[in-house]
Chains A and B, each alone.
Chain A
Amino acid sequence: MMNKEVIVEFKEVSFGYDTTKMIFKDIDLKIYGGETIAIVGANGAGKSTLLKLITGLVRPAKGIVYVDGYKVNNKNIRKVRKKVGYTFQDADNQLFMPTVYEDVAFSAKQEGKSNEEVSIIVNKALEQVDALHLIEKPSYNLSGGEKRAITIATALASNPNVLILDEPSVGLDPRARRNLIRLLFNLKETKIIATHDMDLALDLCDRIIVMYNGEIQGDDTPTEIFKDKELLCNNHLELPLRMQGCPICSRKGEQVESIIL
């Protein structure tokens, strides 16, 4: 699945909302095509800011971010955003049009595509997330799981190379969460997922980046990250629930090697 082509690269990137205080200092990071990466860390660790730097919603004070070979700057911003699909933590912020069709069609319409082309794109994107039956529904009248699927469809509609998801499993019931994992698993795009959901990271990702106070503290496979209890503890993280064992029946948690193939 993964190829060796770098699709997102941070080169000595520093950033701060306040120029006197940098959140990130000299971050170097390479993300390869086809990878599924979890960015984990405590609240305020800088996960969402890292994602916003990729999309150009915020710009580095120092250093360069590249997306698919393009520098993220004013000149390339439209090309960059065409390459990147982004889903927000709060689906209501992302689904801003009155109906599912209009929402998914938004980016295609912005590109000036014909009605027939737009219709094909919308149908394809909704099929990918198994939500074609919702096409005529009002966006505000969907369940949490449906909203999440539609936000992903809105991102897929612009045919991105990189899919960025900010806390995708927040507020989902167990079944909707399971469906989301299945859905994401089947998407071939490079996925960068900021999450607190360690089980999702374990089930879905082939690489985990641990952040704390704007610094990358760990960057490895889930096997190695979840073996390193000190790393987890120092960064206010915990093992996935299924690895923690049960305090009532004294069942031991699963070992990381037995979970990850």
Chain B
Amino acid sequence: MRDMNRFVKSMFNLAELEQLSRRKTMINKWHPSIKIIITFIYILILTSVDGYELGKVLLFGVYPILLLSIADIPTRVIASKLIIPAFISISLVAFNPLFDQEIVLVINNIGISGGVISLCSLFSKSLFTISATLILVSTTSIEKIGDGLRWLRIPKKLVILLLLVYRYIGVLLDEVSKTIEAYQLRANGGSGIHISAWGSLVGQIIIRSIKRSEEIYNAMLLRGYHIGDEE
């Protein structure tokens, strides 16, 4: 379980991305709005490619690979953050081969069904889109992304929301990690979390999150934030 904790922490280790975003590479110096627009257009075009056009989808892989090399971002950093999204996306498309069994391609007398093609295509799409987003975050600090979004006339409230979410991913994970450790210390060496404890652990985390969000909202109010009629 400690390994799981470590794994989750490393996956969401935002400090790594922060450090990368504060370097002075060519891409880091680009105006954030330009990077946001390019990433947005890339994701938009990629997601609109037909699910059966695997060849075209794979061509889009050139973009993240190219950027990784130009921006000199260690592949390990991006790869470690792709593990859980990859697992989620593969589980979402895992049944495609069962639903679509029509053979659309034959290679060396081996028939490949449309379901397999769409599985590979959708899986690649998800990895490429997430990679592009991670590369954006690793080449642009979060406050610059905020500035870029404001420059693009995205409403201030949405930008603040994004910044808050980014800021509190780490805090929430810390709460989760502390809760797991507290459980582990009293679990008599048992492995994993017993099913009977899941409810109360999740409940505790939710309660703490709500309490914290109330405090943060108060902190914002006290520093001049107002949204509609607050009182």
A residues near B (Cβ < 8 Å) are 55, 57, 74, 77-78, 81-82, 84, 86, 88, 90, 92-94, 96-99, 101-102, 106-107, 110-111, 136, 138-141, 154, 157-158
Contact = CB atoms under 8 A, between A and B. Distances in A.
Contacts of B216: 93, 96
B164 A96 contact: yes
A82 B224 contact: yes
A94 B225 CA distance: 13
Contacts of A154: 223
Interface string B202-228: 000000000010011011111111100
B143 to A, nearest CB: 5
A90 B215 contact: yes
A88 B223 contact: no
5 contacts: A78-B226, A81-B223, A90-B215, A92-B212, A98-B141
A2 B223 CA distance: 26
Interface residues of B, number: 29
A232 to B, nearest CB: 31
Contact of A96 (B22, B167, B230, B231): B167
Interface string B1-41: 00000000000001100100010000000000000000000
Contact of B215 (A82, A88, A97, A158): A88
A4 B130 CA distance: 61
Contacts of A88: 215, 218-219
B10 to A, nearest CB: 16
B174 to A, nearest CB: 9
Nearest to A151: B219
A88 B14 CA distance: 25
Given A74-B231, A102-B143, A141-B15, A97 B167 contact: yes
Interface in B182-214: 212
B166 interface: yes
Given A57-B221, A107-B224, A138 B15 contact: yes
Contacts of A102: 143, 146, 163
Contacts of B22: 136
B158 interface: no
Given A77-B231, A98-B166, A138-B14, 7 more contacts: A81-B223, A88-B219, A93-B216, A93-B218, A98-B167, A107-B223, A110-B223
Contacts of B225: 106, 110
Nearest to B220: A96
Q: List the 5 closest A-B pairs by CB distance, nearest first.
A: A110-B224, A93-B215, A107-B223, A98-B142, A107-B224
B61 interface: no
B223 A93 contact: no
